[in-house]
Amino acid sequence: MKQTAGISGLFHDPDAVLKAAAELRRAGYRRFDFHTPYPLHGLDDAMGVERTILPWISLAGGVIGAAVALHLQWWTGAVDYPLIIGGKPLFALPPSIPITFELTVLLCAIATVVGMFALNGLPRWYSRWQNDDHFLRSTDDAFVVTVDAEDGHYHPEKTRVLLESLGAEHVRIVEYEDQ
């Protein structure tokens, strides 16, 4: 059965995108987005995108990495199998720094990448917009605005008029096949 994904339109001018984003937000829309071939500076503010919590996830990854590394080196060397090598102490901070640093970076990086994809809901190999020609151009040379049909303010006609008044071209309703 065909379902309506929402309405989409094309932009070519980055300034018009910023203006449209601010206007859509002012009109009360929340479930809209711009699909762009590269990140547009200033669009986050215009759209009112909330700051991501990703840095905290990264921090947590780094802290866990440091804790795991220190614990691993101390427990294996000084507790589980104490073995004096070269007359060195069983555990000391200075020689433990390199591995602590490396594991901090490693777990921080994993947390960042996994966190970024998870927060974005990726990987998800299907998008409601994917069969629309606009969507295909959004990775090439156009900025594509999409307003979800599920948005409270969505109205097939009024939304179209609003988008056109903001300078969007080829505004049209996009449908997808519901399986």
Chain residues that interact with another protein, rule: CB under 8 A? 13-18, 33-44, 47, 49, 52, 54-55, 58, 62, 72-73, 76-77, 80-81, 83, 85-86, 88, 95-96, 98-99, 101-103, 105-106, 108-110, 112-113, 115-117, 119-120, 122-127, 129-130, 135-141, 146
CA-based diameter of the chain, in Å?
81
- Identify any residues that bridge with 11 across adjacent strands, giving them in sequence order: 143
- Name residue, tokens 């974005």: 120
Q: What torsion do the CA atoms of 98, 103, 58, 37 make, to the nearest 10 degrees?
A: 100
Instruction: Report, in Å, the least distance between residue 126 CB and another protein.
Output: 7
Instruction: Report, in Å, the least distance between residue 143 CB and another protein.
Output: 9
User: Which of 137/160 has CB closer to another protein?
Assistant: 137
Instruction: Report, in Å, the least distance between residue 168 CB and another protein.
Output: 15
Sign of the CA dihedral with 32 first, then 121, 117, and 176 last: negative
Instruction: Report, in Å, the least distance between residue 139 CB and another protein.
Output: 4
Which are the contacts of 112, defined by CB distance < 8 A and separation ≥ 6?
A: 54, 57, 58, 61
User: Which of 86/157 has CB closer to another protein?
Assistant: 86
